[in-house]
Amino acid sequence: MPPSLETRDLTIRFGGHVAVNAVSCAFHPGELTVIVGPNGAGKTTYFNLISGQLRASSGQVLKDGRDIGRLAPSGRARAGVGRAFQLTNLFPELSVLENIRLAVQARSGVGRQFLRRASGHRELIEQAEGYLAQTRLTEVAHQPASALSHGDQRKLEVALLLAMEPDVFMFDEPTAGMSLDHAPDVLDLIAEIKKDRSRTVLLVEHKMDVVRALADRIIVLHNGTLLADGKPAEVMASDLVREVYLGKRGAA
Amino acid sequence: MARLGIGGWSVRLIVLGIGVALLFAPFLFPGVRAIEVAARICVFIVLVASYDLLIGYTGIVSFAHTMFFGLGAYGVGIALAQHDASWSALILGGAAGVLAALVLAVLIALLSLRVKAIFFAMVTLAVASVALVLASQLSNLTGGEDGVTYSAPDLFSPATALFHDATGRTARFFGVRMDGKIAAYYFIFGGSLVLYLILLRVTVSPLGTVLKAIRENEARAEALGYRVVAYRTFVFGFTAVMAALAGVLYATWLQYTGPDTTLSFEIMVDILLMVVIGGMGTMWGAVIGAAALVMAQYYLRDLMQAASDALAGLPLLPDLLNPDRWLLWLGIVFILLVYFFPAGIAGTLAGRETRK
């Protein structure tokens, strides 16, 4: 099966510092890849290069074989690359429902309509309500996003990504800072996405139990380079990875 | 919170009250000055509402709004002054002014909306200054500092009788002569109402939500798939057209167009004050802010004169309330308004009601 997303020699330099160094990697539909690596390894930078928040110094980003590396983030989103952010990144004064509706209408193309009432688009609102139900946010639908608890804001972040209905789902530490009773909700959602074999999922995650439960494949980034790539059991067993990941030489 | 609950009842009642007062203004407040004030409020509601769409909804700071207002007004003014006072001159001149505003706005937006907000504001300030200088230098066309005086189409002439009574003279309804001035007022009122309703509609449209999203979190809007630069360019051009149309209405009403009535930075400051007093990002605030400030500008002096006379004989107070000091008092009123209504009148009132 051809990869849905591929990076070729993807590199970015900030002055003399190479944050992501010639990373080539292909991601296939139906596969959930977890990206691990110590802090500062370049995981989020790698994500930013793929979804367009940063422009690569060199190298390519291919979506279904087409180079999207020169597109603005909006163009990449429309090409089917969806991204959820590590730090909560919402529209704080808009209601939860409006947040979701924005994601739904971006995809449906009605965002350019300016003389029709938004509330007249029943189908948009019904779709948005569907995502709220799926993420268990229905009760807070009419609250501003800024009034939500941290856990609910994380869920809304995931709901926004679901509502974009991308081909490629990118999650950057989706459970960061979540309490133990909220985290499973988000992980269940990701597991649900994974069931659809046409979707490609990329996940940055630190919690090893999460990695074990979800990963089909693990790649390890260290100092911006791709250090290891393989099945979870192989990668986690490798000494090199343990050394880098645990940050200790010779650790068990 | 305030922005979510824009439909506070007290705000709606105030806006409805102002709307009704404007609708019946010629009958409720007879007199040349009162109708002048009412027409100015109508035009400024559109001007301020369009500016609110720009600054309050989308978060774009521009100082070129009076320039677009002026382009519409000068289009009408020059066309009517150089040709006859016909409808075709009015429409062609107005259309030319509106088109010029649109083209200029799109150019400014494409060239500079990618830069940081503060630089964009500076660019608009520079362009607006150039426009002001041009208006006073191209005196063959614009009449320079003096501006241009002209006649509006005959329908709006005070000598025109809209209705005749039994004796063939201009009919009166409730004691008000049904002459061309009334027709002109209702032309302004109707035009302003239509433009305001269009602006109101935009704020509840799918695009309106995108604009708010851009204000709230530009990068996230982009990440969802919205081309932020395109949306900003659109809203800048759209509000420029609205401002130019307001200029067309005002030029038709005043039968005079000059730098002081349309282009000057004092008007820009007035617009800013009206948006802030009314409440940014509320749309209703435009109505409240425009009505409050225009009324204050026209009537505060009268009010102070009356107060000063009433207190004559007391020490100090009559002097403090001397009408010459009206700007001081206007300043004090502004400070109090901003203190007690930090989100503007509409924003703060609506916020209070949603919090209950």
- B209 touching chain A per CB within 8 A: yes
Q: Does B226 touch chain A (CB under 8 A)?
A: yes
Best A51, A76, A102 member to test B by mutation, with max B CBs in 10 Å, is: A102
The verdict on residue A146 lying in a domain is: yes
Inter-chain contact A102–B209, Cβ cutoff 8 Å?
yes
What pLDDT is recorded for position B229? 92
- Whether A252 maps to a domain, the answer reads no
A-interface mutation test, from B197, B204, B205, B227, most A Cβ less than 10 A away: B205
Residue B1 forms contact with A (CB below 8 Å): yes
Does A90 sit within 8 Å of B204, measured CB to CB? Answer: no
Query: In chain B, how many domains are there?
Result: 1
User: Could you tell me the pLDDT band of residue A20, with boundaries at 50, 70 and 90?
Assistant: very high
Residues of B with CB below 8 A from A121's CB? 206
Quick: pLDDT tens for A200-226.
999 998 888 888 888 999 999 988 999
Instruction: Give me the mean pLDDT over the A10-24 stretch.
Output: 91
What is the per-residue pLDDT for B7?
Answer: 57
Q: Within a domain: residue B236?
A: yes
With tokens 């302004």, the residue in question is: B188
A52: CB partners within 8 A, 6+ apart: A68, A71, A72, A73, A74, A75, A76, A77, A81, B223
Residues in A touching B208 (Cβ below 8 Å): 114, 118
Cross-chain CB nearest to B206 (options A53, A103, A113): A113
Note whether residue B204 is domain-resident: yes
Residue B354 has what pLDDT?
65
B42 domain residue, yes or no: yes
The whole domain housing B230 covers 24-283
- The CATH number given to whatever domain includes residue A106 is 3.40.50.300
Place of tokens 């979707």: A199
CATH number for the domain harbouring residue B86: 1.10.3470
Residue to mutate among A48, A51, A94, A114, with most B CBs inside 10 A, is A114
Q: Does B3 touch chain A (CB under 8 A)?
A: yes
Give B189's strand partners.
none
Plot region of A86 (φ>0 → left; ψ -120 to 50 → alpha; else → beta): alpha
In a domain, B309, yes or no: no
The C-alpha atoms of residue B352 and residue B332 are separated, in whole angstroms, by 24
Cβ of A113 within 8 Å of Cβ of B209? The answer is: no
Q: If we measure between CA atoms, which residue out of B254, B181, B213 comes closest to residue B26?
A: B181
Task: Sort A41 into a burial class: Cβ within 10 Å, 0-12 / 13-18 / 19+.
Answer: buried
State yes or no: pLDDT of A244 exceeds 50: yes
Question: How many domains does one find in chain A?
Answer: 1
Examine the pLDDT at A246 and tell me if it is beyond 70.
no
Residues on chain A touching B202 (C-beta within 8 angstroms): 114-115
User: Whole-angstrom Cα distance, residue B92 to residue B96?
Assistant: 6
Determine whether the interchain pair A114/B220 forms a contact, defined as Cβ–Cβ distance below 8 Å: no
Question: What does pLDDT average to over chain A?
Answer: 88
Residue B78 is assigned to a structural domain of this protein: yes
> Quick check: A118 and B220 CB within 8 A?
no
What is the model's pLDDT at position A245? Answer: 65
The per-residue pLDDT for B167 is: 79
Residue pair B282/B56 in contact (Cβ under 8 Å)? The answer is: yes
Taking CB atoms and an 8 Å limit, are B213 and A94 in contact across chains? yes
Q: Which string of DSSP letters, residue by residue, matches B202-213?
A: HHTSHHHHHHHH
State which residue of chain B sits closest to A161, comparing Cα positions. B224
What is the complex's ipTM, to 2 decimals?
A: 0.89
Angle B270-B42-B266 from CA coordinates, rounded to 5°: 15
The confidence band for A66, taking pLDDT boundaries of 50, 70 and 90, is very high
Q: Where in the sequence is the domain holding A213, given as residue range(s)?
A: 5-246
Assess whether pLDDT exceeds 70 at residue A119. Answer: yes
Query: Using CA atoms, how far apart are residues A156 and A147, in angstroms rounded to an integer?
Result: 12
Asked if residue B300 belongs to a domain, the reply is no
Q: Given this model, what pLDDT does residue B173 score?
A: 81
Question: Position B213: which residue type?
Answer: A
Domain membership flag for residue B19: no
Residue that wins the pLDDT comparison between A88 and A246: A88
pLDDT along chain B (356 residues), means of 10: 55 93 91 92 97 95 96 95 89 96 95 83 94 91 88 84 78 81 94 96 94 94 94 96 97 93 92 93 94 92 84 79 84 89 88 66
Q: List CB contacts (< 8 A) between A91 and chain B.
A: 212-213, 216-217, 220-221
In chain B, DSSP finds a helix count (H) and a strand count (E) of: 16, 4
- Containing B333, the helix (H) or strand (E) segment is helix B326-340
Q: Chain A within 8 Å of B217 (Cβ-Cβ)? A: yes
Of residues A119 and B107, which shows the higher confidence score?
A: B107
